[in-house]
Amino acid sequence: MRGARLTALLGLLLASGLLAGCVYYNGMYNAKRLARSAQKAEREGRTFDASNLWGQVVTRAESVVVRHPESKYVDEALVLQGIALARLRQCPSAVSPLGRVALLPANSDLAEEAALALGRCQMELGSSAAADVAFARVVDSRNPARRESARLYRARALRLTGRHQQALSLLAATPGPAVQEERLLALAGLRRRPEALGLLDSIVARSDSTTAWDSLLAALGRENPIVASDLLDRLGSRPGVQPAVRARRLLDDALRLAPADSARAAARIRQAMRAGAGTPSGDQAELRLLRLDLTRVRDASELAPHAAALQQVIIRKSSSAADAGQLHSSVVQVKSAADSSGPGVPRADLRVFLAAEVARDSLAASSLAASLFRRVADDWPDSPYAPKALIAGQALAPEWADSARALLAERYADSPYLALLRGEEAAGFEELEDSLRAFAALGAGRPVRRPTRETRGDEDDDSDLRPFRRRPSPRDSVKTPSRGVLQ
């Protein structure tokens, strides 16, 4: 009797185990079946159906993991879930389960698909080095499609981490239009311009309507702005390019060229103005050119024609009129401060100092700003802001730096600004900065009346300069030059 019961119990346990195994097997089978259906839908261009199927894969795979957390196949389920999440463009959620790919057999189809998905997600998340490791698992795959895809993506990861020659070597025996573009980017990064131009000509001659020229221009510009400009020259003769598109491309090219070749950048802006006349891109180009002209101003007496040109843009009510208005206000503020401030004008040192900051930060006119900072020290040597002006000015005019440093050491050694730079306690620093901010907030750009007999007695009244309570940052005392008008 007892033996019969034991036999029955063992049978029940065996049946339960088989049932659990069957449930697990069915769950994984269904998840894999759905994944194959999703891939088929992608190949056929049925993106909505594919997304729906990948969503079901996520649910099925998660169910397997929850119900059978101790199964030896849980890694497989998690990896499949990660692939589905990656296909759904949910890379932040996909990376963790895809990381289990290292626990799967290296050459299996699932492992290779997962490695590709992990690499693409790492690229999307900005981790090219990690992507390189993932793609390296698949570059020697027996599957031609996966092998070529892995080599292309790994070459991109290598290029983005500065290993252009390795990227070029990896692509040597790999065919395809996308590979040509990646090879072009690697050659450009290696500064091998003649070879890059030869490949560029073949890409343009291919006349492939699927080529994303704007994306290629942007990527090429990051590697080598000169070669990107060469590509734009070749695209300029292609039919069917809208004037607004051409103007935008020319303007983008100017931004890329500016740090390397300012003259060529200015020429590009003029081309953009002509190509996009009457379009928003053409209007932006005109304003960029006016900004570029302002950067060359060396003295406030040169500002009048620039203000007049900006006023014409405002009057025409072009699409850039609002930006032109802001720039015009800055020009007028600087010119007004320079013209109406003199040694006998109350708080003129503050006005000229603030005008110098506007010239530097809003107009990107480094030479003009340096001359105004120097004027503060020359015309108002006893101003507490003279040392701050010297510190700011020497950063903009290296030829003036030695004399500025000598003057700071001889005359302003006790200034709170120098104490701050020396890392010492800067007594009075907060009060000076608060007064400067208060004066700016009250409208330093307004013309200042020269003192008359009636008002001369009030010129020492600082009641309108009550300090703010916000504690200023020590870095506020000296600003670095702006990045440039074209950026």
Q: How many CB atoms lie within 10 A of CB 51?
A: 16
Q: Given this model, what pLDDT does residue 159 score?
A: 95
pLDDT for residue 24 is more than 70 = no
Residue 211 contacts residue 220 (beta carbons within 8 Å): no
Question: What distance in Å separates the CA atoms of residue 269 and residue 264, rounded to the nearest whole number?
Answer: 9
Q: In 317-415, which ranges are continuous DSSP H helix?
A: 321-340, 348-361, 366-379, 386-396, 401-411
Residue 286 contacts residue 309 (beta carbons within 8 Å): no
Q: Given this model, what pLDDT does residue 361 score?
A: 94
Q: Given this model, what pLDDT does residue 465 score?
A: 27
Residue 199 contacts residue 183 (beta carbons within 8 Å): yes
pLDDT for residue 283 is more than 60 = yes
Question: What distance in Å separates the CA atoms of residue 258 and residue 266, rounded to the nearest whole number?
Answer: 8
pLDDT for residue 377 is more than 80 = yes
Question: What distance in Å separates the CA atoms of residue 279 and residue 262, rounded to the nearest whole number?
Answer: 24
- Mean pLDDT, rounded, for 161-170: 94
Q: How many CB atoms lie within 10 A of CB 330?
A: 21
Question: What distance in Å separates the CA atoms of residue 484 and residue 365, rounded to the nearest whole number?
Answer: 9
- Mean pLDDT, rounded, for 300-309: 94
Q: Which residues contact 311 (CB under 8 A, 6 or more apart)?
A: 328
The pTM (predicted TM-score) of the whole model is 0.67
Question: What distance in Å separates the CA atoms of residue 144 and residue 374, rounded to the nearest whole number?
Answer: 68
b/e per residue 426-439 (b: at least 16 CB within 10 A):
beebbebbbbbbbb
Count helices and strands (H / E) in the chain. 23, 0
The ranges assigned to domains in the chain are: 296-448+465-487
Q: Given this model, what pLDDT does residue 153 score?
A: 95
What confidence category does residue 3 fall into, taking pLDDT thresholds of 50, 70 and 90? low
Residues in the chain, how many? Answer: 487
Q: Which residues contact 57 (CB under 8 A, 6 or more apart)?
A: 31, 34, 35, 38, 80, 81, 83, 84
> Which has more pLDDT, 31 or 166?
166
- Mean pLDDT, rounded, for 416-442: 86
Q: What is each CA distance from 131 to 95, 137, 169, 280, in whole angstroms?
A: 11, 10, 18, 40
Q: Given this model, what pLDDT does residue 161 score?
A: 94
> Which has more pLDDT, 47 or 482?
47
Please spell the DSSP secondary structure of 27-49, one letter per residue.
Answer: HHHHHHHHHHHHHHHHHTT-HHH
Residue 114 contacts residue 82 (beta carbons within 8 Å): yes
Question: What distance in Å separates the CA atoms of residue 117 and residue 94, rounded to the nearest whole number?
Answer: 9
- Mean pLDDT, rounded, for 266-293: 89
The overall average pLDDT reported for the chain is 82
Q: Given this model, what pLDDT does residue 208 score?
A: 65
Question: What distance in Å separates the CA atoms of residue 417 and residue 424, rounded to the nearest whole number?
Answer: 10
What confidence category does residue 209 fall into, taking pLDDT thresholds of 50, 70 and 90? low
pLDDT for residue 468 is more than 50 = no
Residue 401 contacts residue 409 (beta carbons within 8 Å): no
Two structure tokens written together for 190: 């290696």
Question: What distance in Å separates the CA atoms of residue 219 and residue 203, rounded to the nearest whole number?
Answer: 15
Q: Given this model, what pLDDT does residue 453 score?
A: 35
- Mean pLDDT, rounded, for 74-88: 90
Two structure tokens written together for 150: 């892995």
pLDDT tens readout for residues 219-235: 999 999 999 999 998 88
Candidates 390, 475, 461; CA nearest to 429 is 475
Q: Which residues contact 40 (CB under 8 A, 6 or more apart)?
A: none
pLDDT tens readout for residues 66-79: 887 777 778 888 98
pLDDT for residue 466 is more than 70 = no
Q: What is each CA distance from 207 to 210, 219, 260, 270, in whole angstroms?
A: 9, 19, 30, 28
- Mean pLDDT, rounded, for 98-104: 90
pLDDT for residue 93 is more than 90 = yes
What confidence category does residue 5 fall into, taking pLDDT thresholds of 50, 70 and 90? low
Q: Which residue bears the tokens 């009244």?
A: 461
Amino acid at 345: V
Candidates 150, 152, 130, 132; CA nearest to 141 is 150
Question: What distance in Å separates the CA atoms of residue 364 and residue 358, rounded to the nearest whole number?
Answer: 8
Q: Which residues contact 403 (CB under 8 A, 6 or more apart)?
A: none
Residue 216 contacts residue 181 (beta carbons within 8 Å): yes
What confidence category does residue 149 fall into, taking pLDDT thresholds of 50, 70 and 90? very high
Q: 298: which DSSP letter?
A: -
Please spell the DSSP secondary structure of 132-199, one letter per residue.
Answer: HHHHHTTTT-SSHHHHHHHHHHHHHHHHHTT-HHHHHHHTTT--SHHHHHHHHHHHHHTT-HHHHHHH
Q: Name the percent of the chain lying above pLDDT 70.
A: 84
Q: Given this model, what pLDDT does residue 344 score?
A: 77
pLDDT for residue 379 is more than 50 = yes
- Mean pLDDT, rounded, for 305-322: 91
Question: What distance in Å separates the CA atoms of residue 154 and residue 133, rounded to the nearest whole number?
Answer: 8
Two structure tokens written together for 420: 């701050």
- Classified as helix, coil or strand, 126 is coil
Question: What distance in Å separates the CA atoms of residue 158 and residue 153, rounded to the nearest whole number?
Answer: 9
pLDDT for residue 279 is more than 60 = yes
pLDDT for residue 347 is more than 60 = yes
pLDDT for residue 11 is more than 50 = no
Q: Name the percent of the chain lying above pLDDT 90.
A: 41
Q: Given this model, what pLDDT does residue 237 score?
A: 66
